[in-house]
Copies of this chain bind each other. A is one copy, B any other.
Amino acid sequence: MNLQLDEHGRLRHFLSTEGLPRELLTQILDTAESFSGVIGKSVKKVPLLRGRTVMNLFFEASTRTRTTFELAAKRLSADVINMDISTSSAVKGESLLDTLRNLEAMQCDMFVVRHGDSGAAHFIARHALPGVSVINAGDGRHAHPTQAMLDMFTIRRHKGEFEPLRIAIVGDILHSRVARSQIHALNGLGAGEVRVIAPRTLLPRQVEDLGVHVYYDIDQGLRDVDVIIMLRLQKERMAGALLPSESEYFRRYGLSAERVALAKPDAIVMHPGPTNRGVEIEAGVADGPQSVILEQVTNGIAVRMAVMSLAMGATGERA
């Protein structure tokens, strides 16, 4: 049984893009499409979640991601409570469960969870009371499914169908929850070919089992792709000797205008932000005509509105 679905196969929690049926992934994109009209208007609000309470439960600080969830919830007319819970107070296992039970007792309808440990959102969802939904806003190295879905939304808007597409994900695949969720989403939506491009030290073992083609050479890997997805380089990896210097990294794996030219002429360039200009991407490329980086941010609101309203059973479609 899939923890993410209710007994009718509808979304209840959104924890991972792995193992979700294609229809559900498509329903999220279609619902987001309907909301993207709303947020372009001057009154950017729909009353779908009026009177519901969304709690942003951030065990790992991320002002940016929290803000997008807060905006999405407010545009659905929900009440939002922000709880920043430092991991220093080590809220784990039984104690995490105790915290959860107390927050549930306050009659919240949804937890948006960010946590440094892989599996934290699943753990919370597994123990959540009936009627409470859990959204994973990033857990350890495991998953960041709303980021992946906003990327899918952005790709679909520019490229239409997924089947004919060739997509390259470039950078630190090993430590990236974003990459993992993107790969599962792309496979779930039937993308033609998914490539990962990285040095050996930044690839998980047996990464091919995820259904991707591996390239160690970026110039080969980018050839004829429709979509280039750059990952953010966590600079703290440098200290760990997994990586050469920043300039050496840029020389070997950074996205320059010359490299963009290896892809199809109408290829789009994506990045989850914030970019490290000059490290994984050239400033001119990040701001260039093929970049859709800011569109990704905009689409993130509509996609999060879609996931939240679907998980709370509050879409117009089902009403």
Contact = CB atoms under 8 A, between A and B. Distances in A.
A67 B74 CA distance: 17
Interface stretch (A50-58, A140-148, A164-172, A236-244): A50-58
Given A53-B44, A63-B83, A39 B107 contact: yes
A274 B106 contact: no
Contacts of A79: 45, 71, 74-75
A102 B42 contact: no
B44 A298 contact: no
A44 B40 contact: no
Contacts of A98: 274-275
Interface in A74-89: 74-75, 79, 81, 83, 85
Contacts of A52: 42-44
A75 B53 CA distance: 9
Contacts of A70: 81
A163 interface: no
A207 B67 CA distance: 43
B106 A298 contact: yes
A298 B71 contact: no
How many copies of the chain does the oligomer comprise?
3
B39 A44 contact: no
Interface in A248-293: 273-275, 277, 283
A233 to B, nearest CB: 16
A302 to B, nearest CB: 9
Nearest to A312: B42
A311 to B, nearest CB: 14
Given A44-B107, A45-B50, 13 more contacts: A44-B51, A44-B53, A63-B83, A71-B106, A71-B107, A75-B79, A94-B283, A98-B274, A99-B274, A104-B294, A105-B294, A105-B295, A106-B298
20 contacts: A39-B107, A40-B107, A42-B51, A42-B52, A42-B109, A43-B51, A43-B52, A45-B51, A53-B71, A64-B102, A67-B81, A75-B79, A99-B274, A102-B274, A105-B294, A105-B295, A105-B296, A106-B300, A106-B301, A107-B301
